[in-house]
């Protein structure tokens, strides 16, 4: 049926068809059990089918599935907006709006940033992933498969190198670079775009699709200073890094710089399509009545799930869960790095952890082939892994944070074995 009726462009990573999922495990339609280190690409931080979330979803579904917030209003939209304003960093008045997908949240953040500042230009980063719509595909920095043949792209977008210290875009080394990547902004302003024309800088606190790259804290501080100096809004795209993935509810809580706007999605809705923009109140308020919205935006069933997700994650100390994964995984991955020359880098924050594979550690030539083979080997042993990175040579961990210690260890055993096999 897939081959006959579904376009091949709708990609899949592994030939597995799910029947049911629980926690961090999946059973396929043939009865095979898999451990899942992909979590629906970072959507299932709370695990598959969390019983309390399912209960809330059922309760809401029995009342009404949809009303359209732009026609008949419903309370859980307001409650979720309030909750998101409370739990996001920033000691200032905020407001929040819900939409359906990560890309849609980013689109709305950019719309509001332009409306508020009266400026048109947006700065994004090389290696970024912000979505697949025209604007977010433009903000995204991976040509194949995401952009190839889909141009022309949206105007008003400029790219800067992301501080990817393992492969410094300037060939420098962190200890002595003097934060050259931040200094390059002044060149951009001289040669490419006036800072007074820039509405916003959008950045992933940990680059997701780009390969789980954590920028140096000093870079972010410098970015904050640049934004303050020129009245540019700072947008943290937390769509992949949010909801305790990095050990805090939002990864930008590590920054010491408070973003003006946050986009969130994925694990917010525990699997139901939901995203949000949370921003300084005056930013979203700059758009006039009717300028923001959408038929399905802030679906009541998804909102019910999200309210429960936030409650459970705070109650059940999901920060501890991410930190436990960090501690156990880094110990094992460090040992694997000592064993296997093809592991060039082990990095991450909290449970947002990745391994970068190279042909050798001196040339650092990307080893995409190894990643594909490791993913296949792991799959044959019951572990679901996914790749990342502009060069496709990174394996990233997005396992549900509810994974048990035993499951985590089992998964890491399979990973080690899969690397050994090649």
Q: What angle do the packed helices 368-380 and 405-421 form, to 10 degrees? A: 120
Cβ contact 261:37 at 8 Å? no
Closer to ligand PLP by Cβ: residue 89 or 211: 211
Beta strands 157-160 and 352-357, pairing class: unpaired
Closer to ligand PLP by Cβ: residue 115 or 130: 130
Closer to ligand PLP by Cβ: residue 163 or 195: 163
Question: Closest approach of Cβ 124 to ligand PLP, in Å?
Answer: 11
Cβ contact 342:358 at 8 Å? yes
Residue 218 CB neighbour total at 10 angstroms: 13
Closer to ligand PLP by Cβ: residue 321 or 396: 396
Closer to ligand PLP by Cβ: residue 21 or 131: 131
Closer to ligand PLP by Cβ: residue 121 or 209: 209
Residue 366 CB neighbour total at 10 angstroms: 20
Closer to ligand PLP by Cβ: residue 223 or 414: 223
Which helix (H) or strand (E) covers residue 57, if one does? helix 51-63
For residue 379, give the nearest of 329, 421, 348 by alpha carbon. Answer: 421
Question: Closest approach of Cβ 362 to ligand PLP, in Å?
Answer: 31
Helices (H), 231-359: 281-285, 300-315, 318-339
Question: Closest approach of Cβ 186 to ligand PLP, in Å?
Answer: 27
Closer to ligand PLP by Cβ: residue 209 or 222: 209
What is the DSSP track for 351-377?
TEEEEEEBS-TTT--B-HHHHHHHHHH
Exposed / middle / buried, residue 284 (Cβ in 10 Å: 0-12, 13-18, 19+): buried
Question: Closest approach of Cβ 72 to ligand PLP, in Å?
Answer: 26
Closer to ligand PLP by Cβ: residue 131 or 389: 131
Cβ contact 158:193 at 8 Å? yes
Closer to ligand PLP by Cβ: residue 195 or 271: 271
Question: Closest approach of Cβ 354 to ligand PLP, in Å?
Answer: 13
In whole angstroms, give the CA distance from residue 197 to residue 120.
6
Question: Closest approach of Cβ 209 to ligand PLP, in Å?
Answer: 6
Closer to ligand PLP by Cβ: residue 122 or 342: 122
In whole angstroms, give the CA distance from residue 252 to residue 202.
12
- What residues contact residue 415 under an 8 Å CB cut-off, 6+ apart? 336, 374, 378, 383, 385, 395
Question: Closest approach of Cβ 405 to ligand PLP, in Å?
Answer: 27
Cβ contact 260:35 at 8 Å? no
Q: Dihedral through CA 422, CA 365, CA 149, CA 160, nearest 10?
A: 130
- What residues contact residue 97 under an 8 Å CB cut-off, 6+ apart? 81, 108, 276, 277, 284, 292, 293, 297, 298
Handedness of CA 68, 73, 77, 78 (dihedral sign): positive
Question: Closest approach of Cβ 68 to ligand PLP, in Å?
Answer: 20
Which helix (H) or strand (E) covers residue 97, if one does? strand 94-99
Beta strands 33-36 and 25-28, pairing class: antiparallel
Question: Closest approach of Cβ 240 to ligand PLP, in Å?
Answer: 3
Question: Closest approach of Cβ 275 to ligand PLP, in Å?
Answer: 6
Residues that bind ligand PLP (CB under 6 A): 41, 101-103, 106, 129-131, 204, 208-209, 237, 239-240, 265
Question: Closest approach of Cβ 104 to ligand PLP, in Å?
Answer: 7
The closest residue (CB) to ligand PLP is 102
């Amino acid at each position: 049926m897939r081959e006959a009726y579904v376009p091949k462009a709708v990609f899949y990573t592994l030939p597995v068809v799910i029947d049911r999922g629980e926690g961090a495990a999946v059973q396929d339609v043939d009865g095979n059990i898999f451990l899942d280190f992909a979590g629906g690409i970072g959507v299932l931080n709370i695990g598959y089918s969390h019983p309390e979330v399912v209960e809330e979803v059922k309760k809401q579904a029995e009342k009404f599935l949809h009303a359209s917030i732009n026609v008949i209003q419903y309370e859980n939209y307001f409650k979720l907006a309030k909750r998101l304003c409370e739990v996001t960093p920033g000691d200032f008045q905020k407001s929040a709006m819900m939409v359906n997908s990560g890309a849609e949240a980013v689109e709305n953040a950019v719309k509001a940033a332009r409306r508020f500042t009266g400026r048109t230009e947006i700065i994004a980063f090389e290696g970024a992933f912000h979505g697949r719509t025209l604007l977010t595909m433009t903000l995204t920095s991976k040509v194949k498969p995401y952009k190839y043949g889909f141009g022309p792209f949206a105007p008003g977008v400029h790219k800067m190198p992301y501080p990817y210290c393992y492969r410094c875009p300037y060939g420098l080394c962190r200890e002595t670079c003097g934060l050259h990547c931040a200094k390059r902004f002044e060149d951009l302003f001289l040669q490419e775009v006036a800072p007074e024309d820039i509405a916003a800088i959008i950045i992933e606190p940990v680059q997701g699709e780009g390969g789980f790259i954590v920028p140096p804290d000093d870079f972010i501080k410098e970015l904050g200073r640049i934004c303050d100096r020129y009245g540019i809004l700072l947008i943290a795209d937390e769509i992949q890094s949010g909801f305790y993935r990095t050990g805090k509810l939002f990864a930008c809580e590590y920054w010491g710089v408070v973003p003006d706007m946050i986009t969130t999605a994925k694990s917010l809705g525990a699997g139901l399509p939901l995203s949000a923009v949370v921003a300084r109140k005056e930013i979203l308020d700059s758009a006039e009545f009717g300028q923001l919205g959408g038929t399905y935006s802030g679906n009541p069933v998804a909102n019910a799930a999200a309210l429960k997700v936030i409650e459970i994650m705070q109650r059940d100390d999901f920060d501890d869960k991410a930190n436990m994964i960090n501690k156990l995984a880094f110990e094992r991955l460090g040992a694997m790095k000592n064993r296997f020359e093809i592991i060039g880098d082990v990095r991450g924050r909290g449970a947002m952890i990745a391994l970068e594979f190279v042909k050798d550690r001196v040339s650092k030539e990307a080893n995409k082939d190894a990643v594909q083979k490791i993913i296949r080997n792991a799959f044959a042993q019951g572990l679901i892994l996914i790749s990342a990175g502009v060069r496709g040579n990174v394996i990233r961990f997005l396992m549900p944070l509810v994974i048990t210690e035993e499951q985590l260890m089992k998964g890491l055993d399979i990973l080690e074995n899969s690397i050994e096999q090649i």
